Structure 1
């Protein structure tokens, strides 16, 4: 028994001596990276890392197969796990990943949906025009398009003075935070549904965008009938530019998925839907951010900025910023 133990120790020592230099070298490289000194690595060290990693895995396999020292096996397992994230893990920090998303990936994904975005905007406008015309012909149509909880008392039964008072903003900011949260949640639900239901051949997505346009058209038609069209337009535009563009992009994402499912082309239907879903999901990641800003503008901006010209100025600035951000010229990412 003693001879077996001595022989096992000798094997472990000999095994370690033959390979320990490579293990220590890999460990030093990992230590540098984990301390944030990735840029200090030479080209030779970077090229050597995968080779050292594979050598360490081989050593671990041999150590396990021959039942060598347990402490050595634990050391090699830990070293291999650390080396895996060094060799195959992301070299980019969270800050860098977010920067790349907002600087390149999201705008590029939105530009890639320009056809679907045009269709989505067209559906929004058609819904607004049809609903506005119907409400102009018969005021009771208003109740078919505008949910009661969103109307907030702004309906054909309200007096003109009451309608005008709802456009002047709050005298104080009490409750505006809760209001912004409610509106953000509602708009996010509409956008996410328009995206998610794209798999049903995009029909529900198109219907949701049409319905969103219809609520807009019905609302404006009511205020126009009372001579308050300009004021209502400013009240809506301060947040509507961002909010409605976000909903249009969500609808475009749903249309892209629905089109891929209906017409997969040379790919299988599943592969086509997966590729479209990945593209659309990138767009939706940014849409959530747009809806957050729209919620802030809706809950705070339009309540605190009460002058109609100022509201239109904020809306124009928002349109310019989003237009340049998504469709303006930009430098290509370095490869």
Structure 2
């Protein structure tokens, strides 16, 4: 293809790309103008390669080289900004959001941890009460999993350490499923989130009380104490996000219900983003640490105490110092 025809066909694209570069270079923050930028950048790189291969005039090659160089700088600048935004969310924005929504977090915590503790005490004192929420088959399965003689505590006996990565995937899907159910059911005017917070608390409390009464507390508690810091807190926060959605429908104030729900969802969805992070961490700990049989119970309790303290400090103190302005 002759250079004149090549330029005629693509001159407008180059001009548009240069205009986008000018706008991005003037902007100190990420911008919606970066949408589709990667595609346009790759097209300019392709045109540069064609110009070199076809021996086009040096002024055209140099022009495309400049566009490609500026595009490369902007592409990785915005990727770096995205990484910085993610780090900012993890290190500051998420714990700030949890503290800002402390009323819903407190209510969710009362429902979840309150029902858990109450049911654990009741089942410990009245063992047959476990069968009111857990089937006999599931109780038998738990006995097999938490038998002190089991090679991999908390897992079926036939599982080995080589399957830990499969268990990690299973725990992620299982935990995320519970959290999403607790969150999304808040759309039923909050009743769904109320129910699942209370029900999940009853289930977990019944299991804890029964296994402790059955003499398996020496295996059950060291197993759960580590990952439970992130897992149980994540479920509670998912419930808080669902309750916020439900309240927007119950009491929208002067807003229309759709607008009130939209505003509540902007906050709740961000909460769920942090919940997913918590559940990924919990699944990793459960698959690669909790099920190990070689650490002593004291070591498990020590690590578990540190993780619970870490979660508490993170949610209460992280992000209290404002970032310096860009």
Q: TM-score, normalised by structure 1?
A: 0.67
The unaligned stretches of length 5 or more in structure 1 are 1-19, 44-78
Aligned positions of 1:117-132 closer than 5 A: 117-132=105-120
Displacement, 1:95? Answer: 1.3
Q: Does 1:292 align with 2:280?
A: yes
2:255 aligned residue: 267
* Paired residues of 1:237 and 1:315 also in contact (CA < 8 A): yes
Displacement, 1:28? Answer: 7.4
Aligned positions of 1:322-333 closer than 5 A: 322-328=311-317, 330-333=320-323
Aligned positions of 1:1-335 closer than 5 A: 27=18, 30=21, 38=25, 93-136=81-124, 138-146=126-134, 153-155=141-143, 163-166=147-150, 169=153, 172-229=160-217, 231-304=219-292, 306-328=295-317, 330-335=320-325
Change (3 A) 1:256 1:246: same
Displacement, 1:251? Answer: 0.5
* Paired residues of 1:167 and 1:231 also in contact (CA < 8 A): no
Displacement, 1:250? Answer: 0.3
Deviations 1:214-270 (A, max 9, x none): 122111111221334354222211111110000000001011111121111222222
CA distance in 1, matches of 2:100, 2:267: 9
Change (3 A) 1:28 1:136: closer
Deviations 1:77-96 (A, max 9, x none): xx9xxx9xx9xxx7973212
The unaligned stretches of length 5 or more in structure 2 are 1-11, 29-66
Greater Cα radius of gyration, structure 1 or 2:
1
CA distance in 1, matches of 2:137, 2:117: 22
CA distance in 2, matches of 1:194, 1:139: 28
Displacement, 1:112? Answer: 1.6
Q: TM-score, normalised by structure 2?
A: 0.69
CA distance in 2, matches of 1:229, 1:129: 15
Displacement, 1:133? Answer: 4.2
Deviations 1:84-133 (A, max 9, x none): xx9xxx79732122122223322222112211111111111232234324
